[in-house]
Amino acid sequence: MTLFVLFGDSIKLLAADPSFDEGFAIADSVCMFFFIMEFLGNTWSKSLFYSFYPLQTEGYIFSFFWWLDMIAIVSMWPDIPWIANGMGIGDVTNQVQGNNNYSKAGRVVRLVRLVRLVRLYKIAVEKMTNIKKEMEMMKLVEAGLITYDEIQRQKLLYEKRSSKLGGQLSSIITQRVIILVLIMIIILLVIDYTTYNDEASYAVGLLATLNANSSVDNVFLATMVSTILQNEVAGPSIDSPSPNLIYLEVYPYYPADVPIVNNFERLTYLRTPSKIDIICHGGICNDFSYWHVNQQQRVADSAYVHAIYDINQLQRLNALFSILITLFIGFALVMAA
């Protein structure tokens, strides 16, 4: 489940059809339920409650790892549609996924889930160490050098010797490693410079300006439309991460509801973050509500341009790099801890 919540969303964007989104949402919900149960169980069993009012506690509750586990669970909420929509953050989530700066912040929050890998790794190492010791002891028993009762006494003595000091030192080292890695990630994301490809919005804005200007010659406007089609329209098998125009409607250059480019079959296979929907009318661009008004209201406007771009390949590329980054940071955390 830990591995699924780390890589599931990226795998979904990279290789899964949108029809599988509901299945991923159900799997995320199941994982979150078990994480919450584990979180509550750890909170109760690994904490000492001296007083509930005023609250006096010791142990796991309100500790560094308690807060990390809490953040890791909360970070799953935007990935689960029924929670995101219920909290009114469904649309915000889509905008965050499409916005590079916000997606960086979201990536840092999600990387908190990697702390679970450190815990799993340490549990696995401890288990393998104990198995190895028991096998060595059993060889001594078989050789007649020690009795089985003596093994049990030494095992009990070893458990008593595993002092709280050793556990606290291990916890402090792991805590400092986690803080150091998270600070490093945050700083790298802050100082990183990423260019934004505004070719799509610029082309549509220029086309809308020309379309709204009654003094522009139709021949020149037709040349502009033709240039956009030549440079930005591509087939469904496109391998380039550049935006590709899959829908274009220009009024009054073309009659209303007669799109110049209409590839709605391709549009049905795109998630919201995988498309750029640009609408310009009355000198205003990106007014998404305009597309939902009725035909009379749209035709009543002097001019409008509606364009939809496919950026699915770019989203898939980002998902691939997200998996690679998670693998690298997870490896660094586990090895350092």
- The Cα–Cα gap between 55 and 43 comes to 14
Backbone torsion region of residue 213, taken as left when φ is above 0, otherwise alpha when ψ lies between -120 and 50, otherwise beta:
beta
Q: What pLDDT, on a 0 to 100 scale, did the predictor assign at position 197?
A: 65
Q: How far is CA 63 from CA 68, 223, 266, in A?
A: 9, 65, 49
Q: What pLDDT, on a 0 to 100 scale, did the predictor assign at position 32?
A: 94
Type of residue at 162 = S
Q: Work out whether strand 284-285 and strand 261-262 pair parallel, antiparallel, or are unpaired.
A: unpaired
- The Cα–Cα gap between 101 and 190 comes to 9
Q: What are the mean pLDDT values of the chain's consecutive 10-residue runs (337 residues total)?
A: 90 89 94 94 91 84 89 88 81 51 63 79 83 83 78 71 72 84 80 69 80 75 80 55 79 70 79 82 58 47 78 86 86 81
- The Cα–Cα gap between 289 and 48 comes to 54
- The Cα–Cα gap between 148 and 223 comes to 91
Backbone angles phi, psi at 286, to 5 degrees: 65, 30
The token pair at 333 is 């955390």
| Domain extent listing, the chain | 2-112, 117-191, 199-315
Beta strands in the chain (DSSP E): 47-52, 55-59, 244-251, 261-262, 275-281, 284-285, 304-310
H or E element at residue 143: none
Residue 49 DSSP SS3: strand
Type of residue at 281 = H
H or E element at residue 259: none
pTM tops 0.85, yes or no: no
Furthest C-alpha separation in the chain: 104
Residue 281 DSSP SS3: strand
The token pair at 323 is 């998996």
Q: What pLDDT, on a 0 to 100 scale, did the predictor assign at position 301?
A: 55
From 331, 329, 271, 214, select the one nearest 97 (Cα to Cα).
271
Q: What pLDDT, on a 0 to 100 scale, did the predictor assign at position 126?
A: 80
- If you compute the radius of gyration of the chain from its CA atoms, what whole number of angstroms results? 29
241: DSSP letter: -
